[in-house]
Homo-oligomer: A and B are copies of this chain.
Amino acid sequence: MHLFYQPDIIQGSHFLNEEESRHCVKVMRHKIGDIIKVIDGKGGSFTAQITKADYRKCEFEIIEQSKSPEKRFNIHIGIAPTKNMDRLEWFVEKCVEIGIDEISFIQCQQSERKHLKLDRLERKAISAMKQSTNNQFPKLYDLMSFQQFIENNSNPDQKFIAYVDELIPEHLYNLAERNQRYLVLIGPEGDFSKEEISMAKTNDFVPVSLGKSRLRTETAGIVACHILNLIN
């Protein structure tokens, strides 16, 4: 059964947005009476019947619904966008496939990229969510400065910062506990500056290693996300 995304279905929005309507009616050629599956990216899954096969606003009626059990952990990754946009899109796609709740993009001193196309990343996330059947659409936050980010994120249970450190800190795999709200910071190609590391430590971020290899930014992000899913 074909899968479509409507984030506000529970609030009564029983139609697909323009992009999904076009896909449903023009590409998949669905007609009135056809049965489709709709997810809301928040764990809700709906079997629906098309009541108006309009390619700009395809309407449907819910026949059956189910809800995934509440997750007991929350993964938030704060990452410095890579210079090459493809690498960042890959990071988003892979994390959504594996499972992630929040992604923040952080402007660091040594970041080469100064702006983002958040809508492109959102489209990548939607398509990854649909194909992985994960039904969990992450919150994607627009680019903000390192300092602003650090000071606005005081609620996670465990806060980590991953960087290349000669002191070789403990592995994230050993430090992360189960069923927590995690926040992991991943630095830019040129790594975090000394000031940023010190600011993070002052704000209770714990330095962690992600293994012996020197990983690229996007690989470090994927690896951190996978470790946290694995221990849960």
A residues with a Cβ closer than 8 A to B are 90, 94, 97-99, 131-134, 173, 211-216, 219, 222-223, 226-227, 229-230
28 sample A-B contacts, Cβ–Cβ < 8 Å, listed by A number: A90-B90, A94-B219, A94-B222, A97-B213, A97-B215, A97-B216, A97-B219, A98-B211, A98-B213, A98-B215, A98-B219, A99-B211, A99-B212, A99-B213, A131-B214, A131-B216, A132-B214, A132-B215, A132-B216, A133-B213, A133-B214, A211-B229, A211-B230, A222-B222, A223-B226, A226-B226, A227-B230, A230-B230
Of listed A90, A133, A219, residue having the most chain B CB within 10 A: A219
> Nearest CB to that of A219 among chain B residues?
B97
| Residue of B whose beta carbon sits closest to that of A90 | B90
CB neighbours (8 Å) of A98 from chain B are 211, 213, 215, 219, 223
Instruction: Write out the residue numbers on chain B whose beta carbons fall within 8 Å of the beta carbon of A222.
Output: 94, 222
Task: Specify how many copies of this chain sit in the oligomer.
Answer: 2
A87 to B: closest C-beta gap in Å: 9
Minimal beta-carbon separation of A43 from chain B (angstroms):
12
6 tightest A-B CB contacts, nearest first: A132-B213, A134-B213, A133-B214, A97-B219, A132-B214, A97-B215
- Give the shortest distance, in Å, between A175 (CB) and chain B (any CB): 14
